[in-house]
Amino acid sequence: MEKLLDTLIENNKVYTKNGKVASYIPELAKAKSEALGICITTLDGEEYCSGECDEKFTIQSISKVITLMLAILDNGKENVFKKVGMEPTADAFNSIINLETKSPQRPLNPMINSGAIATVSLIAGGDGDKIFERILKFTRKITGNPDININEDVYKSEKNTGHRNRALAYFMKSTGVIEGEVEEVLDVYFKQCAIEGTCKDIARVGAVLANNGVLPWNGERVVPAYVARIVKTIMVTCGMYDASGDTAVKIGIPCKSGVGGGILAAVPMRMGIGVFGPALDIKGNSIAGVKILEELSKELDLSIF
Ligand code: GLU
């Protein structure tokens, strides 16, 4: 397996040159655009890694998978999907247009920015700091890594420049999707995006989803199987922004990417995969990361379809 991963890194490194690191959050522009790493965690506890798999990056939108699990746990699926839809979008991840034009006026799904901001507003736990503490604690549990924390510089950078997200949140406050205090909700959202991890950490989250909500390393159930199933389904239909259909056809695995360059993938009953390559394509997905997953899926016959 390790040999296969080394070959995949070697074959696909060249694609990093065709992408660009995200720069709309100034701090993200500092990422090494040629970096590429992969890690696989199987359900029987094996871990295989290659490339820059110990490099830390902010998980950004991958955190949307984590907060969706908590929101469903706290509210039940009916209440969550009253506020946020479950339909894919053909627009960019930070688009505002559907919030006004679609009826009912709610975000299309929890994997785009508007939907994730609405989702985090539903998480229980008290004030913003306490809610974020819960998110962090849960993230540490499902990565099996007690050292997970946020990257303060990325958090501040996004908080200072995240005006588009502010616009989305205030719009949703005006339509009643967000009931709480907008700046507090946004602060939690900016922090969840700045959670820092490695390919290994996100591969473990993928393995928990692949294992239907049970930590493969100790058998502890962290979410009911139906929650893991909903999250994996929404990852297939909405997890790769407006390239989700393309990903479903070419890779055929539930995936969620983030503009920090990470991609989390969960192959049901088989493995979790974490990929890191900060050079992005125009849709915001890791350009070499997508290629690597495509080749890996073919090699190991991982498509669920
Ligand atoms: N923090 C990023 C934003 O809100 C997350 C976007 C992403 O990874 O898709 O713009």
What does the pLDDT look like over 174-186, one tens digit per residue? 999 999 999 999 9
Residue 84: active-site member: no
pLDDT tens, residue by residue, 105-161: 899 999 999 999 999 999 999 999 999 999 999 999 999 999 999 999 999 999 999
pTM: 0.96
Paired tokens of 130: 């306490």
Reply yes or no on whether 189 is catalytic. yes
Q: What is the CATH number of domain 64-191?
A: 3.40.710.10
Over the chain, what is the mean pLDDT?
96
Q: What is the pLDDT of residue 100?
A: 82
Residue 301 CA, ligand 1 centroid: distance in Å: 31
Q: Exposed, middle or buried: residue 163 (CB in 10 Å: 0-12, 13-18, 19+)?
A: exposed
- The pair of three-digit structure tokens given for residue 97, joined into one six-digit string: 């247009």
CB 208 within 8 A of CB 272: yes
| 14-18, 103-107, 229-233, 239-243: least confident range | 103-107
| Minimum-distance ligand 1 atom for the alpha carbon of 94 | 10
| Topology alike, domains 2-60+195-299 and 64-191 | yes
3-state SS, one letter per residue, for 33-89: CCCCEEEEEECCCCEEEEECCCCCEECHHHHHHHHHHHHHHHHCHHHHHHHCCCCCC
Span 257-282, mean pLDDT? 97
- Given the residues 155, 241, 275, 291, the one annotated as active site: 241
CA dist., res. 262 & res. 199, Å (int): 7
Q: Kindly report, residue by residue over 19-58, the tens digit of the pLDDT.
A: 999 999 999 999 999 999 999 999 998 999 999 999 999 9
Map out the domains of the chain as residue ranges.
2-60+195-299, 64-191
Q: What is the pLDDT of residue 172?
A: 95
pLDDT range class, residue 15, cuts 50, 70, 90: very high
Residue 197 alpha carbon to ligand 1 centre in Å: 15
14 part of the active site: no
CATH assignment of 2-60+195-299, given 3.40.190.10, 3.40.640.10, 3.40.710.10, 2.60.120.10?
A: 3.40.710.10
Ligand 1 probe mutation, 65, 111, 191, 193, most atoms within 8 A of CB: 193
For residue 298, the cross-strand partners are none
How much distance in Å is there from the Cα of 61 to the middle of ligand 1? 5
